[in-house]
Amino acid sequence: METINILIDLFPYALMGSVLAGIICSFLGVFVVSQRAVFLGASLTQVSIAGVAFSFLHLINLEALIGSLFTAETIENSFLHHFEHTFFSLLFSLIAVLIFSQSYRQKLITQDGLLGIIFVIAIALRIMFIQKSPVAEISEIEAILKGDILFIGPNEFYTMLVVLLIVFLIFGLFSKQLKFVTFDAETALAHGINSRFWLLFFYLTVGIGISLTTRFVGDVFTFAYLIIPSSIGMILGKKVSQVFIISVIIGAVIPPVSIFLAFIFDFSSGPAAVVLAFVVFIIVYGVKKLV
């Protein structure tokens, strides 16, 4: 109990933020996994990091640009400073989603192949951007790029809260379109629902969610929580709604528990959250096989 109190005192936003990040990823993960687009999740985490790395080149001074549009009193400097990383992370991710969403128009390369190329190019660009960055130590930039649950502060927490509400709102309001186009895009189109538009719209939402969680909690956590909770949900859920609920519960509960365990056993909280989710997955899988 004492440890929990210490954690709440020291990392209140980290604990609450880890829940939000877990929910965002596990909720979007059901969409990603059911669309057989797991590799899209992996690629977007790397693209998001490449976007943050690009922001360290300071080729476009967004801080000055926005500062000139709004007075210094209206926007906090710290927000502006973080905004630049987040902006490029989002921009890179959305461009990758747009490229991926249009890949059905061509037959020269498979979607998997395209995602593989995006994945490796993003990693290569990240390295090159960091090497050419005029500021700070490379190790320091790498740490910022990778994100960390424990570094979640009020800005990150409220940004994720807004993202979560937007994701829930979009997937809730347009659940009819979501169900139909993800189940059978061809028939949806034949019945007058513009499945290309809706798929792009949902993928863009996924891109925003993945980009921001990667930025705040790291690529390993984000990718793991896209895949593992939704896989558990699919193993246990007998209805679509149950898959979402189980996935979200797993995504919400495991990260704060992992922070607690990581604190006790002196591990990094991100990898601990991934390993604990995997342990739960193995138990669920094993029990389901036996029953």
Is the distance from CB of 48 to CB of 93 less than 8 angstroms? yes
At its nearest, how many Å lie between other proteins and the CB of residue 47? 24
Of 273, 176, 258, the closest CA to residue 220 belongs to 273
Is the distance from CB of 8 to CB of 237 less than 8 angstroms? no
Q: Does 33 bind other proteins (CB under 8 A)?
A: yes
**Quick one: which segment of 41-49, 213-221, 230-238, 280-288 binds other proteins (CB under 8 A)?**
230-238
Residue selected from 243, 248, 259, 274 as contacting other proteins according to rule CB under 8 A: 243
177 to 196: interface string for other proteins, x by CB under 8 A? x-xx-xxx-xxxxxxxx---
> How far out from the chain centre does Cα 58 lie?
24
Q: Does 199 bind other proteins (CB under 8 A)?
A: no
At its nearest, how many Å lie between other proteins and the CB of residue 96? 23
Is the distance from CB of 210 to CB of 226 less than 8 angstroms? yes
72 to 101: interface string for other proteins, x by CB under 8 A? ------------------------------
Both tokens of 157, joined, read 């927490």
Taking the C-alpha atoms of residue 240 and residue 176, their distance in angstroms, rounded to an integer, is: 13
At its nearest, how many Å lie between other proteins and the CB of residue 244? 9
At its nearest, how many Å lie between other proteins and the CB of residue 240? 5
Torsion sign, CA atoms 71, 86, 90, 198: negative
Q: Which ranges constitute the DSSP H helices of 135-268?
A: 138-146, 154-173, 175-183, 185-190, 195-217, 219-236, 240-265
Q: Does 239 bind other proteins (CB under 8 A)?
A: yes
- Match 């300071």 to its residue by tokens: 58
* Beta carbon nearer to other proteins, 123 or 236: 236
Q: Does 104 bind other proteins (CB under 8 A)?
A: no
CA atoms within 13 A on the CB side of 26: 29
Q: How many residues does the chain have?
A: 291
* Beta carbon nearer to other proteins, 25 or 32: 32
Is the distance from CB of 19 to CB of 94 less than 8 angstroms? no
At its nearest, how many Å lie between other proteins and the CB of residue 128? 37
At its nearest, how many Å lie between other proteins and the CB of residue 248? 15
Q: Does 170 bind other proteins (CB under 8 A)?
A: no
Residues that bind other proteins (CB under 8 A): 30, 33-34, 36, 173-174, 176-177, 179-180, 182-184, 186-193, 234, 237-240, 242-243
